[in-house]
Amino acid sequence: RAHTYHLINLTRPVPSVALITLNRPKALNALSSPLFDELNHVLKDVDADKEIGAVVITGSEKAFAAGADIKEMKDKQYSEVYGSNFLSHWTYITSVKKPIIAAVSGYALGGGCELALMCDIILASPTATFGQPEINLGVIPGAGGTQRLARTIGKSRTMELVLSGRNFSAAEAERWGVVSRVVGEGEGEVVKEAVALGEKIASKGKLATQAAKEAVNHAYEQTLTEGLHFERRLFHSLFATNDQKEGMAAFAEKRKPNFTHS
């Protein structure tokens, strides 16, 4: 089922990890509609591929993505963007079952920052520069920037960023918990780390991994009581899997588990 992509690259640095590289270098990976169509297409494919246990999305050293494509948007009318629910296809990534790691170097601005925020884990290189500069264009973030940042870093910081349009550094992103960590310097380091993390995640039982991702994501949607209830029910449900029997038996027998994802 080979498919040719033009605005992204799909590789398999290790058999269990899909590496998606945004590839519009001349436009600093501006997220045009055709690029997003390709991204959604490839995400659907990798989500269905039983061999793949984790996905890494990255850009170039200079830019993860410099935002939605301003040139594509600039002449659009209200009737068109509202009528077509412009950008609604950006949310597909949030329904992918497999863990997605954003490996961010360089600019992650506007929609690029929002794309990273839609991933499950963000690793940043020291060169990463985040920001929601939409206010400078006479608009506001439109793919979750105001909501996901507010839930992650709080109201005051989010207000400052979104109202001033100023960028924030990898160090700030780490301090505020936007990224899980900043990796060492060096070209390709952040992708290497993300692939290694993806490979580690992919070595676990896939049913438990899916349940874990679902449970953590619930923390953003529900009250604590509801979230705890949902978590416990998912936990109970895993006792119906072979992987639970195998994982606990392996511990008791002091050996490595051999998960069969069943």
Q: How far is the CB of 184 from ligand HXC (least distance, A)?
A: 24
Q: How far is the CB of 91 from ligand HXC (least distance, A)?
A: 10
For the question of residue 205 being annotated catalytic, the response is no
Among 6, 44, 71, 166, binds ligand HXC (CB under 6 A): 71
**Rounded distance between C-alpha atoms, residue 130 and residue 153, angstroms:** 13
**Rounded distance between C-alpha atoms, residue 126 and residue 115, angstroms:** 19
Q: Does 67 bind ligand HXC (CB under 6 A)?
A: yes
Q: Tell me which residue of 146, 36, 20 sits closest to 86, measured CA to CA.
A: 36
Q: Does 107 bind ligand HXC (CB under 6 A)?
A: yes
Among 87, 135, 215, 228, binds ligand HXC (CB under 6 A): 87
Cα 222 versus chain centre, distance: 21
For the question of residue 111 being annotated catalytic, the response is yes
For the question of residue 68 being annotated catalytic, the response is yes
Q: Does 69 bind ligand HXC (CB under 6 A)?
A: yes
**Rounded distance between C-alpha atoms, residue 153 and residue 149, angstroms:** 6
**Which residues sit opposite 124 in a β-bridge?**
104, 182
Cα 115 versus chain centre, distance: 6
For residue 44, give every residue at least 6 positions away whose Cβ sits within 8 Å of its Cβ, in sequence order, or none. Answer: 92
Q: Does 10 bind ligand HXC (CB under 6 A)?
A: no
Cα 86 versus chain centre, distance: 20
Catalytic entry in 114, 193, 211, 231: 114
Nearer to ligand HXC, 54 or 122 (CB): 122
Nearer to ligand HXC, 65 or 191 (CB): 65
Q: Does 183 bind ligand HXC (CB under 6 A)?
A: no
Q: Does 53 bind ligand HXC (CB under 6 A)?
A: no
For the question of residue 199 being annotated catalytic, the response is no
**Rounded distance between C-alpha atoms, residue 23 and residue 28, angstroms:** 8
Q: Does 109 bind ligand HXC (CB under 6 A)?
A: yes
Residue 119: its H or E element: none
Catalytic entry in 54, 63, 65, 68: 68
Nearer to ligand HXC, 53 or 67 (CB): 67
Q: How far is the CB of 248 from ligand HXC (least distance, A)?
A: 44
Q: How would you write 159-185 as a 3-class SS string?
A: HHHHHHCCEEEHHHHHHHCCCCEECCC
**Residues labelled catalytic:** 68, 111, 114, 134
